[in-house]
Amino acid sequence: MLSQCDLVAFIPTTDIDNARAFYVKTLKLQLISEDQYAVVVRANGTDIRITPVDKHAPTPYTILGWRVPDIQQTYNELCASGVVFERYPYVKDPSGIWSAPGGARVAWFKDPDNNVLAIVQIPTK
């Protein structure tokens, strides 16, 4: 049943104005709506509801990611927009882009609430 329905993602924030600026101005996602309950942005047809919360404990794992055709180009564009990528000890590339054994390449960054986000390039077969 749900396989035929549109997906909606949810992101918590303790500072809705800062989160709106990051997702709209820095990541350049389309602003769809905003009210007292959420700021809604759209990424390639998927809505993301950025929802204000009183308290937030970010998780140490990725909560949202984008599949990109060219990770290096996307990485460079995001860096130019002010995004700072995470550096994990197991990642040997100085840029922070990890090459998975199966060929995928992944880079992680955080939003203003320390939610972990990612860009991923999946190898073509």
Specify the pLDDT at position 74.
Answer: 97
Structural domain count, the chain: 1
The arithmetic mean of pLDDT across residues 38-59, rounded, is 96
The arithmetic mean of pLDDT across residues 8-31, rounded, is 97
Using pLDDT thresholds of 50, 70 and 90, give the confidence band for residue 115: very high
Q: Is the pLDDT of residue 1 over 90?
A: no
Pairing of strands 116-121, 62-67: parallel
Q: Is the pLDDT of residue 77 over 90?
A: yes
Number of other CB atoms surrounding residue 118 within 10 Å: 19
Query: DSSP labels for 31-88?
Result: EEEE-SS-EEEEETTEEEEEEE-S-----SSEEEEEE-S-HHHHHHHHHHTT--B---
CA distances from 4 to 8, 20, 44, 121 (A): 13, 29, 17, 25
Specify the pLDDT at position 60.
Answer: 92
Q: Is the pLDDT of residue 11 over 90?
A: yes
Residue 20 backbone phi and psi in degrees, to 5: -55, -45
Residue 103 backbone phi and psi in degrees, to 5: 105, -15
Specify the pLDDT at position 103.
Answer: 94
Using pLDDT thresholds of 50, 70 and 90, give the confidence band for residue 22: very high
The arithmetic mean of pLDDT across residues 13-41, rounded, is 97
Give me the CATH number covering residue 87.
3.10.180.10
The arithmetic mean of pLDDT across residues 83-105, rounded, is 93
Structural domain range at position 44 = 2-121
The arithmetic mean of pLDDT across residues 27-43, rounded, is 97
Q: Which of 61, 75, 74 is nearest to 116 (CA)?
A: 61
Q: Is the pLDDT of residue 125 over 90?
A: no
